[in-house]
Structure 1
Amino acid sequence: MRGGQSYVSCPPSFSNDANRLLVGCGSSVAIFSTATALQVSSLEGHTDTVTSVAVVPGSKILSFCWTSSLDGTVRYWNFSLLECIKTIDLHLPIFSMVIPSLLSSPEQKSGNQQNIYAYVCMQTENDKDNKPKLCSAQIRKCNLTSFQRLSKFVLKETKRPQHLTISPCGKFLGIKDKRKLHIWKLPKVESDSAVSEKITLHHTKTFAVLAFHPTERIVAAGDSTGRLLIYRGFGAQNFHDRGDLLNRTSLTDDESKPGVRHNDDAESCSTWHWHSAGVNLLSFSSDGVYLYSGGKEGVLVLWQLDTGKKKFLPRIGSPLRYFIDSPDPSFSSISCADNQIHILKTSSMEVMRSISGIKPPLSSQEICESISSPAAFDRTSGLVAVQTEDYGIQFYSLFGNRGLYEVQVCERNYQPVDEVTVVVTMVELSIDGSMMGTVEVKLPEEGIGGLICLKFWDLYSDTKRFSMSTLIYEPHRDAHISAIVFHPTRHMAVSTSYGGDFKIWVCREETQNKDQTPQNFSWMCHAVGSYKNKAMSAAAFSADGSVLAVAADTVITLWDPDKNELIAVVGETPSPIGRLSFVGKSEYLLSVSNGLTPQLSVWSMSKLAASWSYGLQIEAVSCALDLSYFAILAFLPKSNESLFKGDGIILLFNATDPTPVASWSVTKAKGGSVAFLKGNPSQLADGKSSETLLAYLNGDREYVLFDPYDKEARELNMTKNDDFVGLEENGQFGYTSIYGELPKFDLKRNKTSSVYSAASNRPWETIFSGSSHMLPPLSKLCCEFLESLLEKKTSIIE
């Protein structure tokens, strides 16, 4: 199973009936219901990231779309049947694609029904010596009907791939190229010839996005400083068209063209400024009366085009990416940089529903070096907890591939444009997932005013959500916390610090006097320990919780957690220890050291000595709960990168043997995690998974679940059979799409025992419900109804 892909890598597209939203999701296209915001199906076939999705317009019954991908193919789909009808291989990565005929008027379509042309921005081929060219991208024309690879004419060569923008009427094509806007006028009747008519608009700042007016010759552009430029009457001199009201006498006097630079082909240029950072989102309303803009502030601004007046949808909480109008004028969608898509109610500009993907990694990773736990896993329920930019923790279902809920760690207003001052550096979960510990750090300003907070959270059974029970300021004075671990069976936790001590925390339940039901939970310090004032960098409990291992710089100290007594000191490593973990219920302890001389060591607790070791740079490690297996995520040495496809490798070991049991090469290993999860056959499509699954979460928070003990390396299915949202939302077809499924009746009867229809089993209340065309034949209904009223008795014949 794979998941965690970005939902905002390209603009989504609504179906013709506005009931579905097609979203590029990695190498597939995820189809969501706009009524429930749940995924109902997906289009599988591309082998690389999908870069564009274009739905073919028409009646509400038609369900066809075009997609492009970095794998170099363009595919034509019937997304109601989840069927790929046509595949065109262009052999070069496609970064953007637009199809003008999908937006043309019916009169223009009738003039040329034989060929469908697309304009693509794709990577250029390298030279013969495999050296990249100066211009790494080209905009070309492709015939999607006759399967011609590309037109011999090239519209434009650019140093970087550019996003293609087409006008809603399908007449104009534009791109941004640094401080220029290039706009082409597309021919009414498409052919294999190139587009010759082109104009260029100039600016003093770098353009970031552009949008065309749906009916008039108006183009809006946003720059990197937050300004909006509205060019009116563009192309009046060069784009000659009979009957065009804007085809006037050439205007060469700069005073008669206010705001226009370099004598550009436009009647006027107006500048609006509200955004404090670059503009990423720009879109006209379907009627052309309003202009939507958005950027890093996380605020959607609604401009009235004639007057310049504006309204706001504030506190979206993330930089904005795309705004898409739906065929239903009552709602639209907005895509955000935090991998969320919101369904907006157009009249009131409020969020109705949200499609929540996994949140991206923290941008403050490099600012605060104390971030040590990129993710925490709930092994029993298949959840992962990750830090978010808005000072929270997102709980994401790995089996369901969707966000469940978020916990706000720091009650603080989040503004994407503000400097990072608070960072959630750590999140840890107990083995059963009932307790959570978080660490937040307030960064000092000019070396003054730093603050570290340790918080404990408890999972309430009624709400299934975490609630904070204890807040501890500066638990280890002014030293950073290096690790948090929970006792496997009791309400006990240990926090270690680089200041040279560790603390054991226990949870106390406060109860009421009358009914003695738990009222509140509070954590208190039970004991404090240290070893020669060395930095305590890691800790781990044994499987039964009787032994606590704490890393003191380069040595491992063993403690009795109840008595807080030092039991033994084990060996020494060449570099400070960063991670400790007991391998299941075995006698082995695993330690990971990073630095100049990285090392993975396996220690025998019976001998209190090293069993075996490897000199590997380890990014993450996870141990099976009951077995003596563990998995590590290691960086590949540069000398071996040519032998593997990725930059990292996952190795599966048995603690008793230094020879790896299995290995998998992976990509984006920096910031990745691995974890053993409890397999749930009912959650998987084939239902044949083992009791244990291994999860790999890469640096971009994309993940894969697989069976680590399968010798055939079988890949689990991508989509679960039960990952649909109901009869009216899972895209059924034919008879069931119109009338629904027929009720199922169990006509089998137990003839060996006495059965009486109790009040809880009254089928006569439901067998006659529904429309007449959905009911079974009368003979079945009468039999079912009469038998439900009679008491059955078993006759014994002697």
Structure 2
Amino acid sequence: MIRGGKSFVSSPPAFSNDAKKLLVCTGNMVSIFSTDTGLQVMELEGHTALVTSIIVEPAPTPASMILCYCWTSSLDGTIKYWDFSVSELMKTINIQLPVYSMVVPSFLAYKSENNEKLSDIYAYISVEDTKNEQNKQRNELRGKILKCNLSKSRLVPGVILSESKKPEKITISSTGKYIGIHEKRKIRIWEVPTKDLKNISPRKLKLSHTKNLSCIAFHPTDRIVVAGDVTGRILIWRGFGDKTFAGSNLENEKLLKDEDEKPGVRGNGDADSCTTWHWHSSEVKVLSFSSDGVYLYSGGKEGVLVLWQLDTGKKVFLPRIGTPLLNFMSSPDPSLASISCADNRIHILKMPRMEILKSISGIKLPSPVPEMFRGSCKDFVFDHTAGLVAVRTENYCIQFYSLFDDREISEVQVCERNHQPSDDVTMILNLVALSFEGSVMCTVETRMAEEGIGGFVTLKFWERGSQNNDFSLSTVIYEPHRDAGVSAVAFHSTRGMAVSASYGGDFKVWVSNHEILQNDKLFQRTRWACHAVGSYRKKPMTAAAFSNDGSVLAIAAETVITLWDPEKNVLVAVIGSTREPIENLSFIGDSNFLVSTSQGSNPQLSVWSMAKLSVSWSYELHTEAIACSEKDSHFAVLVVLPESSKADVATSHSGAILLFNAGDPVPVASWFVAKAKGGGIAFIQRSGSLDDDMDENAGQVLLAYVNGEHEYAVFNPHGVEMQERKVRHTDNVFVTDPEVTGQIGYASIYGKLPEFKLEAIEAGAEYTTPSERPWETIFSGPSHSLPPLTKLCSDFLESLLKKRTGTLI
């Protein structure tokens, strides 16, 4: 089984001490990427639930940068300690409560003050109290901030810094002196003692605002805290904690309460002043200071990184990122930083110019769709032969993502429009369809009418280049079905023909015309033109499909299925009907059967016999997607389980995949799945390059499942299961530059082995066989796969000894 498609932006990433690696929370794992290449180099496996935070332990000296240790927290209720240079788990602390956030002030204080080696390391963790959940009241405080002794692997008893209705994210200052959270319209700040001991509780203060807050950040050197709110404002409190943390007499306290002495500070907030900046048009999600505290970075839904000069308020922008920003992380190298984006992409920035050097791209997350278009929009389609999924993105692009390599292959900009931070959507990318071999793509986009004027639909055909994976625009058709929307697009299996169906009551068959033009060079151009138009009793056409040999075209006219000769545009037969409009049609195998689905209050999955032109069998199932085999009579359906059935299965399972033989209503196999709503399935060809031991099975049909959050699994539906394989971004990518790839295994610890020239060996007095020089190969390979040290030493020393023959006395 192959799994992939995890989110890279669920939690903030972390840089290694030398800034050459970026550690990313990826579902239940931590993926480690090279900042030079943007490729994955290793992963940390061990957590059983979402990883929520990564903290890299600072190196005590510059010479020890090669020692890479980190702490991770997870919703599985554990904190783990890793040596991520060799992907080794060193320690596990069982908290027994889901950990949503974690900070370790001792590391930052140790780094900034260069103290002696720490005796005990304390962490502050934000957890959800899930104990005795059956007895919990609706308004009980479930979020808690606790103190944990990492050195002794246990919680500090009796220390609860805060309680809230839900777990809150903990923010820490760069010196480790202050930690804070934002809860609705309040900021709570704690001062961590210089010597963070078990019996010392941090002092705290509270600051208030009139709007809900979304993020906070601490100045690296001064007592300044900034916060962003949901309206786009940035608030700057200066001199916080003068009374609470620094101490003062009663006379000074009276002066501090004077509003004239605390401009902008609300209530009894302990701060000298509060000023407001306002550039962002919506919620601020990113706030971070530069290492010297001169500049402040901010970002949000606009997809623009703003650099503020703290003293003057002057701004510099990194625009056109094209998606909302979620996190900004500085690195130990002042010339590098990263920003995490809502489209599941992390950009490595060259600082201070804010230039994007590399991008780590995961599969794009589902984009929001207005309610009126949800029934006619599909998030993704599959390229069955190449093992790709084409994902519709929020910035009007189509992302082609490899299911076997778990990485982005290419991206096609369907319409040139800037990212829109407002909620007023003016254009929708409705449908995407691919020909069976993946060489032609069709897209449908709808421009929304403004005050009833200006709305129209555009149908576009795209051709894939012969030398690369990029698509070029071939044909643009405005208003293909007058003022009606397009409900479905399907391609002919063997020739350049496609059909588009519309809610306006007609369908059109399109054919490709090839033109060869000569202008110093000979090249081919394809144009698509309308071949035929058909309708049936002016009923809305809701689904379409070609038979596998292309001789029959099936069009759903609401509750009935019409069969046409696509070449002659002649109605052959009408079969049906169903209680609800048909939303999906697909021929099975050699086209002896046709499967249809309909939803609504009376959902139905029906299998139709083409020989009898009648229904063969049907179920009342809410079917989300269909996948039909091209080689046999098997097909699979993704169904959403009703609420009454979910009590009988695991709570995380919301749907099931059922595998059928078209002639038998009893499923051949079934699998429970999570996040089935909005998901899809498809039969795809196995790639011959997956593993050497799988090449003999290359071309075998696999079943791919992509859930509603675009996580996916690829498996053999017929029982001969592949060994579970977690693909990496380094698969099928070869980098030969040693400065880029770095050193692994033995060389990363002891340095490179000396090179042995073949000429010198051949010129020697004795010829030594490769088997007598095992030290040339025993140190090769990943470090975690090396033999034990006792084996290495004995073979190494034996190979250095000169062998001689003798007689036994």
Specify if TM > 0.5.
yes
Partner of 1:687 in structure 2? 694
Is the partner of 1:639 in helix, strand or coil? Answer: helix
Q: Displacement, 1:573? A: 1.9
Q: What is the letter of the counterpart of residue 485 of structure 2?
A: H
1:282-431 equivalences in 2 (<5 Å): 282-417=287-422, 419-431=424-436
Q: Displacement, 1:160? A: 1.9
Unaligned runs of 5+ in 1: 743-772, 784-798
Q: Displacement, 1:778? A: 4.4
Is contact 2:486–2:500 with CA below 8 Å preserved after alignment? Answer: yes
Is contact 1:111–1:189 with CA below 8 Å preserved after alignment? Answer: no
Task: Find the aligned partners of 1:107 and 1:327 in 2 and give their Cα distance.
Answer: 12
Partner of 1:658 in structure 2? 665
Partner of 1:180 in structure 2? 186
Is contact 2:126–2:146 with CA below 8 Å preserved after alignment? Answer: yes
Q: What is the letter of the counterpart of residue 744 of structure 2?
A: F
Q: Displacement, 1:682? A: 2.0
Which of 714, 718, 722 lines up with 1:709 in the alignment?
718
Is contact 1:185–1:195 with CA below 8 Å preserved after alignment? Answer: no
- Alignment of 1:737 onto 2:743: no
Task: Find the aligned partners of 2:718 and 2:649 in 1 and give their Cα distance.
Answer: 21
1:194–1:563 Cα change, 3 Å: farther
Partner of 1:483 in structure 2? 488
Q: What is the letter of the counterpart of residue 47 of structure 1?
A: T
Is contact 1:685–1:717 with CA below 8 Å preserved after alignment? Answer: no
Q: Displacement, 1:213? A: 1.0
- Alignment of 1:671 onto 2:678: yes
1:225-269 deviation per Cα after TM superposition (whole angstroms, max 9, x unaligned):
111111111111111389xxxx99973322122222213211222
Is the partner of 1:288 in helix, strand or coil? Answer: coil
Task: Find the aligned partners of 1:99 and 1:584 in 2 and give their Cα distance.
Answer: 59
Partner of 1:155 in structure 2? 161
Partner of 1:745 in structure 2? none
Tell me which moved more, 62-71 or 774-783: 774-783
- Alignment of 1:558 onto 2:563: yes
Q: What is the letter of the counterpart of residue 663 of structure 2?
A: T
Q: What is the letter of the counterpart of residue 703 of structure 1?
A: Y
Is contact 2:590–2:633 with CA below 8 Å preserved after alignment? Answer: yes
RMSD: 2.4
1:238-637 equivalences in 2 (<5 Å): 238-240=244-246, 251-417=256-422, 419-512=424-517, 517-637=522-642
1:639-664 deviation per Cα after TM superposition (whole angstroms, max 9, x unaligned):
11111221111111111211111111
Is contact 2:543–2:583 with CA below 8 Å preserved after alignment? Answer: yes
Is contact 2:305–2:318 with CA below 8 Å preserved after alignment? Answer: yes
Partner of 2:779 in structure 1? none
Task: Find the aligned partners of 1:723 and 1:7 in 2 and give their Cα distance.
Answer: 21
Is contact 1:583–1:630 with CA below 8 Å preserved after alignment? Answer: yes
1:78-117 equivalences in 2 (<5 Å): 78-105=83-110, 110=115, 113-117=118-122
Q: Displacement, 1:131? A: 3.2
1:75-118 deviation per Cα after TM superposition (whole angstroms, max 9, x unaligned):
11111101111111111111111111111135967567222111
1:452–1:373 Cα change, 3 Å: same
Partner of 2:19 in structure 1? 18
Q: Displacement, 1:342? A: 0.8
Task: Find the aligned partners of 1:544 and 1:517 in 2 and give their Cα distance.
Answer: 32
Q: What is the letter of the counterpart of residue 18 of structure 2?
A: D
Is the partner of 1:504 in helix, strand or coil? Answer: strand
Partner of 2:755 in structure 1? 774
Partner of 2:807 in structure 1? none
1:618–1:29 Cα change, 3 Å: same
1:498–1:144 Cα change, 3 Å: same
Task: Find the aligned partners of 2:190 and 2:692 in 1 and give their Cα distance.
Answer: 48
1:724–1:12 Cα change, 3 Å: farther
Is the partner of 1:472 in helix, strand or coil? Answer: strand
Is the partner of 1:640 in helix, strand or coil? Answer: helix
Is the partner of 1:103 in helix, strand or coil? Answer: helix
Is contact 1:685–1:719 with CA below 8 Å preserved after alignment? Answer: no
Tell me which moved more, 715-724 or 422-431: 715-724
Which of 719, 727, 730 lines up with 1:719 in the alignment?
727
Q: Displacement, 1:518? A: 4.0
Task: Find the aligned partners of 1:425 and 1:583 in 2 and give their Cα distance.
Answer: 26
Is contact 1:304–1:310 with CA below 8 Å preserved after alignment? Answer: yes
Task: Find the aligned partners of 2:117 and 2:84 in 1 and give their Cα distance.
Answer: 25
Task: Find the aligned partners of 1:417 and 1:680 in 2 and give their Cα distance.
Answer: 42
Q: Displacement, 1:371? A: 3.2
Q: Displacement, 1:714? A: 5.8
Q: What is the letter of the counterpart of residue 660 of structure 2?
A: F
1:508–1:239 Cα change, 3 Å: same
Q: What is the letter of the counterpart of residue 265 of structure 1?
A: D
Q: Displacement, 1:412? A: 2.1
1:198-246 deviation per Cα after TM superposition (whole angstroms, max 9, x unaligned):
111111111111101111111111111111111111111111389xxxx
Is contact 1:254–1:263 with CA below 8 Å preserved after alignment? Answer: no
1:55-204 equivalences in 2 (<5 Å): 55-58=56-59, 59-105=64-110, 110=115, 113-127=118-132, 129-132=134-137, 134-193=140-199, 195-204=201-210
Is the partner of 1:35 in helix, strand or coil? Answer: coil
Task: Find the aligned partners of 2:756 and 2:749 in 1 and give their Cα distance.
Answer: 14
Task: Find the aligned partners of 2:692 and 2:448 in 1 and give their Cα distance.
Answer: 46
Partner of 1:28 in structure 2? 29
1:92–1:296 Cα change, 3 Å: same
1:251-305 deviation per Cα after TM superposition (whole angstroms, max 9, x unaligned):
3322122222213211222221211111110000011111111111111111111
Q: Displacement, 1:456? A: 0.6
Is contact 2:405–2:731 with CA below 8 Å preserved after alignment? Answer: no
Task: Find the aligned partners of 2:709 and 2:486 in 1 and give their Cα distance.
Answer: 25
Is contact 1:227–1:274 with CA below 8 Å preserved after alignment? Answer: yes
Task: Find the aligned partners of 1:78 and 1:739 in 2 and give their Cα distance.
Answer: 17
Is contact 2:143–2:165 with CA below 8 Å preserved after alignment? Answer: yes
Q: What is the letter of the counterpart of residue 755 of structure 2?
A: M
Task: Find the aligned partners of 2:499 and 2:48 in 1 and give their Cα distance.
Answer: 45
Is the partner of 2:647 in helix, strand or coil? Answer: helix
Is the partner of 2:260 in helix, strand or coil? Answer: helix
Q: Displacement, 1:574? A: 2.1
1:672-712 deviation per Cα after TM superposition (whole angstroms, max 9, x unaligned):
1011110124225863767121111111111111111126x
Q: What is the letter of the counterpart of residue 194 of structure 2?
A: K
Task: Find the aligned partners of 2:727 and 2:414 in 1 and give their Cα distance.
Answer: 33
Q: What is the letter of the counterpart of residue 707 of structure 2?
A: N
> Identity across aligned pairs (percent)?
54
Q: What is the letter of the counterpart of residue 696 of structure 1?
A: Y
1:106–1:402 Cα change, 3 Å: closer
Q: Displacement, 1:361? A: 0.9
1:577-601 deviation per Cα after TM superposition (whole angstroms, max 9, x unaligned):
1111111225111111212221111
Q: Displacement, 1:636? A: 0.7
TM-score (norm 2): 0.89
Is the partner of 2:134 in helix, strand or coil? Answer: coil
Task: Find the aligned partners of 1:624 and 1:730 in 2 and give their Cα distance.
Answer: 41
- Alignment of 1:699 onto 2:708: yes
Q: Displacement, 1:462? A: 2.1
Q: Displacement, 1:732? A: 4.1
- Alignment of 1:45 onto 2:46: yes
Q: What is the letter of the counterpart of residue 726 of structure 1?
A: V
1:225-240 equivalences in 2 (<5 Å): 225-240=231-246
Number of equivalent positions: 749
Q: What is the letter of the counterpart of residue 733 of structure 1?
A: I
Q: What is the letter of the counterpart of residue 673 of structure 1?
A: G
Q: Displacement, 1:168? A: 0.6
